[in-house]
Amino acid sequence: MTLGNAFRRPSLPPAVGGRSQRHGFTLIELLVSITIIAVLIGLLIPMVMKGRIYANRSICMSNMRQIGMMTMQYCDNNDGGFPAIFPNHPSDAGSLYGATDQLQAYLPESGYRVYLCPASLGKPLLYNDTDPMAIQGGAYAWNGGRQGCSYSWNAHLRAQKPNLDWWDTGGGTAAASPINYSQIENPSITVWITDSSSARLDRFYYGLFFISAYRHGGRIPSLTGSWPYPELIDKPGANGFNLLMADGHAKWMPWSINWWDNDNIAFQ
């Protein structure tokens, strides 16, 4: 044997059929890989869902700010008055209780999408205030059911009646005139619109049922009893909701059963 042959790498015997030998994954290696991938997916899905919740909340708040700008322009053009209830004896519930038609001329390029929270899309559309599906956070229908809206409107600013309840829209077609912006003591804490399953909002007990506090997160409970459902009052496990103040700024309100009963919130 020569010195060169001593350091030469021994040749491998040829594989059967002339193919080179190739080692694949063992069953254990494959199972470990699948387990790791499943764990990573399990960790990522909640993060993606949480990111989506925050994204929808931000878009919703942007909608509210645009509505705030539209409202300020409306007040400027109407001697400081807010959009009135029963403006022109309308026949559809959207104009009747909401202010969408009155405000739309001030930002026409936005279309009616500005009145829809993205978190309410894909959920049941609501056709009356007592719909049991309201707890899911969908939009309510108006304009003959052709369109939807995700926000309520403070009735106390739309009719000068201190004891206005959600079912009392201001006295029929002879509604009281809307409040003037200059009459609001503190616009920065006075509610104008909120995430809601109804157009109507007031500072009394029943008017607060319609707040959509599960729209932006929270574990939705099963409904018990009949309307008014206890779950719509307490909203256990609710995350919170967006609201727009009379001065045009929007904020996030974490849910609590008495969120409106403090010095930081006003209705009129």
- 194 within 8 A of 201, measured Cβ to Cβ: yes
| Residue 68 pLDDT greater than 90, yes or no | yes
Average pLDDT, the chain: 81
Q: How far is it, in rounded angstroms, from Cα 19 to Cα 24?
A: 15
Establish if 9 belongs to a structural domain.
no
pLDDT of residue 112: 82
| Residue 153 pLDDT greater than 60, yes or no | yes
pLDDT of residue 94: 42
Establish if 55 belongs to a structural domain.
yes
Specify the amino acid at residue 56: N
pLDDT of residue 31: 82
Establish if 6 belongs to a structural domain.
no
Establish if 14 belongs to a structural domain.
no
Tokens 């009356």 belong to which residue?
128
Top mean-pLDDT range of 45-59, 158-172, 207-221: 207-221
| Residue 73 pLDDT greater than 70, yes or no | yes
Q: How far is it, in rounded angstroms, from Cα 124 to Cα 120?
A: 8
Return the minimum-mean-pLDDT range out of 15-19, 38-42, 128-132.
Answer: 15-19
Q: What is the pTM of this model?
A: 0.78
Return the minimum-mean-pLDDT range out of 6-15, 181-190, 208-217.
Answer: 6-15
- For residues 60 and 12, which has the higher predicted lDDT (pLDDT)? 60
Q: Each residue of 87-125: pLDDT tens digit? A: 544 444 444 567 888 888 888 887 788 999 999 998 998
Q: How far is it, in rounded angstroms, from Cα 181 to Cα 246?
A: 8
Q: How confident is the model at residue 238 (pLDDT cuts 50, 70, 90)?
A: very high
Write phi, then psi, for 115 (nearest 5 degrees): -90, 5
Establish if 53 belongs to a structural domain.
yes
pLDDT of residue 90: 43
Q: What is the mean pLDDT of residues 49-78?
A: 90
* Burial class of residue 72 in the structure, from the number of CB atoms within 10 Å of its CB (0-12 exposed, 13-18 middle, 19+ buried): middle
- Residues paired with 180 in a beta bridge: 81
Number of domains in the chain: 1
3-state secondary structure of 167: coil
Return the minimum-mean-pLDDT range out of 7-11, 22-26, 157-161.
Answer: 7-11
Query: DSSP character for 26?
Result: -
| Residue 83 pLDDT greater than 70, yes or no | yes
Establish if 267 belongs to a structural domain.
no
Q: How far is it, in rounded angstroms, from Cα 190 to Cα 188?
A: 6
| Residue 50 pLDDT greater than 60, yes or no | yes
Establish if 66 belongs to a structural domain.
yes
The sign of the CA dihedral 64, 68, 70, 75 is positive
Q: How many CA atoms, within 13 angstroms, populate the side-chain half-sphere of residue 66? A: 22
Within the chain, residue ranges assigned H as helices are 3-6, 27-77, 93-97, 100-104, 155-158, 230-234
pLDDT above 90: percentage of residues in the chain? 36
Establish if 38 belongs to a structural domain.
yes
What letters, b where the CB count within 10 A reaches 16 and e where it falls short, cover 144-165?
A: eeebbbbbbbbbbbbbbbeebe
3-state secondary structure of 120: helix
Tokens 């008014």 belong to which residue?
228
The two structure tokens encoding residue 52:
């989506």
Domain that holds residue 75: 28-254
